[in-house]
Amino acid sequence: MAAEQAKVDPMYQFTIQPLGGSEGWELAGYNIAFTNSALWMLITTVVLFVFVLGGMQRQLVPGRWQMMVETFTGFIDNMLEANIGKAGRKYVPYVFSLFMFILFANLLGLLPLGIVGVHPFTFTSHFTVTGVLAIISFAIVLIVGFWKHGLHFFSLFVPHGTPLPMIPVIAPIEFISFMVRPFSLGLRLFVAMMAGHVLLEVLSSFVIDGTNAGVLWGGIVGLPSFLLMVGICALELLVAGIQAYVFALLTSLYINDAENLH
């Protein structure tokens, strides 16, 4: 089977390419090329805008679309109220934007547009992106925490009821676990999205290579891999939702720490 090596590089899908000769764009010395990643951010924003716009008919008896949008806002609203309480209401715009932006990015990145020659790009599989989102969430926690509680916010590192001699030991541990939050937040989403896409790509290379190797290998390797891919695609849709949910949930939990200290 030396005829031709099927060139399936599982990592190639994450490559960032400047579009339309924009690689030279700069802002204050920093490169701001409009890349395929930026394009999919734009698409995500537009699709999300259209989605929410469809839910703004403001009818007393909602249609299906309006019902769907209201379900999402209600979902975020309930989550914030359950985790933070009445004060959680004012974070609905941020957490809703965060959740929907990540959810739509994840789902749009899974669209099988390769069939028509367009390659979807999942920008949530880049830690530069998830990291920035995590830092924004973390910054909100810090700002709200210090704004509301001042220096008293540092008592977050001393859990309620800690015996006095234990404070020097507990406080650094709490501090470290607090500082790890933005990393775990950003990395979790990035790793989950990347792993799923790599897995799909690897399996698809099995399908292609196995089928190219003839009926025997196609039957032993290609077909099972294809069936597995179908299952994993469903799993990836689930993961897309779960990861967006986890990101929003953890953000709301962290905001809760800042809003209701202990």
Binding flag, residue 30, other proteins (CB under 8 A): yes
Query: 26-27 and 30-31 as β-strands: parallel, antiparallel, unpaired?
Result: antiparallel
H-only helix segments in the chain: 36-54, 64-83, 92-110, 127-149, 167-212, 215-217, 223-259
3-state secondary structure of 26: strand
Cα angle value 133/138/141 (rounded, 5°): 135
Among residues 104, 102, 100, 97, the alpha carbon closest in space to that of 124 is found at: 102
Interface map 143-182 toward other proteins (x if CB under 8 A):
----------------------------------------
Interface map 193-212 toward other proteins (x if CB under 8 A):
-x------------------
Query: Among 69, 207, 250, 258, which residue sits at the site for other proteins (rule: CB under 8 A)?
Result: 69
Assign residue 28 a region (left: φ > 0; alpha: ψ between -120 and 50; beta: otherwise): left
**C-beta closer to other proteins: residue 56 or 111:** 56
Contacts of 181 (CB under 8 A, 6+ apart): 134, 138, 141, 250, 254
Binding flag, residue 44, other proteins (CB under 8 A): yes
Residues 86-145 that bind other proteins (CB under 8 A): 92-94, 96-97, 100-101, 123, 125-129, 132-133, 136
Joined together, the tokens standing for residue 118 give 């367009």
Query: Minimal distance in Å, beta carbon 23 to other proteins?
Result: 9
Q: Can you give the binding site for other proteins, defined by CB under 8 A?
A: 11-12, 14-16, 18, 25, 27, 30-35, 37-38, 41-42, 44-45, 48-49, 52-53, 55-56, 58-60, 62, 66, 69-70, 73-74, 77, 92-94, 96-97, 100-101, 123, 125-129, 132-133, 136, 190, 194
